[in-house]
Amino acid sequence: NGTGIDIADSALADSVQQGIDRVERLLHDSVQSEFEFATRTSLHLVEAGGKRFRPLFTLLAAHFGDPHADEVIKSAAVVELIHLATLYHDDVMDEATMRRGASSANARWDNSVAILTGDFLFARASALIADLGAEAVRSMAGTFELLVTGQMRETVGLGADEDAVDSYLRVVYEKTGSLIATAGRFGAWFSGADEKTVASLERIGRLVGIGFQISDDIIDIASPADESGKTPGTDLREGVRTLPMLYALADPDTDPRLRDLLSRPLSDDDEVREALDLLRESNGLARSRATLDSYAGDAREELASLPDAPARDALAALVDYVVARTR
Ligand code: FPP
Ligand code: MG
Ligand code: MG
């Protein structure tokens, strides 16, 4: 699998690989259009070497029931298509030029092409969800709404009497945790697992998803582009205050120069570099890693309520991966 998560049980590893291969074929089939340009711009990110973290999570969640059910594969593909669609839109909003080690679609073509490609993927995802029934459509509609409100909250910034860290965690749940929670819910549900297991995998998805975004925000500061496949400092350029920045600002000993740099979006490359250096020296990263550890701990606790099975151990490895990818 693309994450490099080690699945110790070889029968489980084979079963997951079969599932991933089927999801991969469905993703490719789903973007075929007689209008070849739409297929080409869609394949740009489909083939850009994503980790397929969400489908992997869906497939692991499905191993508490029948993991080979068609609905499991379809729901995993739906989640990845929705995720890819939001990335096309996100890179426009963030004015990002790089994604998954390649040019972003907005950089390679333009904003209109990127937005329309996202919309095309939503259209194709919607057609697949229709096969999963009205309850799945309703569930995904709710998730969709959270993705949008999370992104809107991030765009408009903090309300008058909101706590910055609380607001950050809410945004992170909405824009990232909600879809990963749905990935877990769909996997368990469409495999025929009982309601308790479904609810548990949804909660694990929420915790892992929040952790995943915190690690993404640490990576934006701590990791060079050749490791992350993205341009470091994108959040600084957009003026988006992520957890490491909020923690640095909360520390009375933080350099006043860093406070000044975090008070506005940065467009100057030298200022971005300077802010990154100061953030790397601040205690914001260490505190963010501690918060990430705490979400991972809660996820592990929730895992303990699942039946003892190889998939449970693989999910524990997935939690470890979310923590470890920032180091
Ligand atoms: C990436 O965050 C962005 C998201 C996880 C959510 C994006 C959501 C939208 C664009 C709204 C959904 C739109 C529609 C039309 C439903 P990031 O910018 O922090 O991560 P990055 O480092 O991967 O760019
Ligand atoms: Mg972005
Ligand atoms: Mg963004």
Q: What are phi and psi of 263, to 5 degrees?
A: -85, -5
List, as ranges, residues with CB under 5 A of the ion ligand 3: 90, 94
Which of 175, 208, 213 has most ligand 1 atoms within 8 Å of CB, for mutation? Answer: 175
pLDDT digits (tens, 9 = 90+) for 50-78: 899 999 999 999 999 999 999 999 999 99
pLDDT digits (tens, 9 = 90+) for 121-137: 999 999 999 999 999 99
What ipTM was estimated for this complex? 0.96
30 ligand 1 Cβ < 6 A: no
Average confidence score pLDDT of the chain: 95
CA of 67 to the centre of ligand 2 (A): 32
Per-residue pLDDT for 158 more than 70? yes
State the Cα angle at 244 between 242 and 245, rounded to 5°.
Answer: 65
Q: Are 246 and 168 in contact (CB under 8 A)?
A: yes
282, two tokens: 């601040």
The rounded distance, in Å, linking the Cα atoms of 316 and 310 is 10
Cα Rg, the chain, nearest whole Å: 19
pTM listed for this prediction: 0.96
CA of 69 to the centre of ligand 1 (A): 29
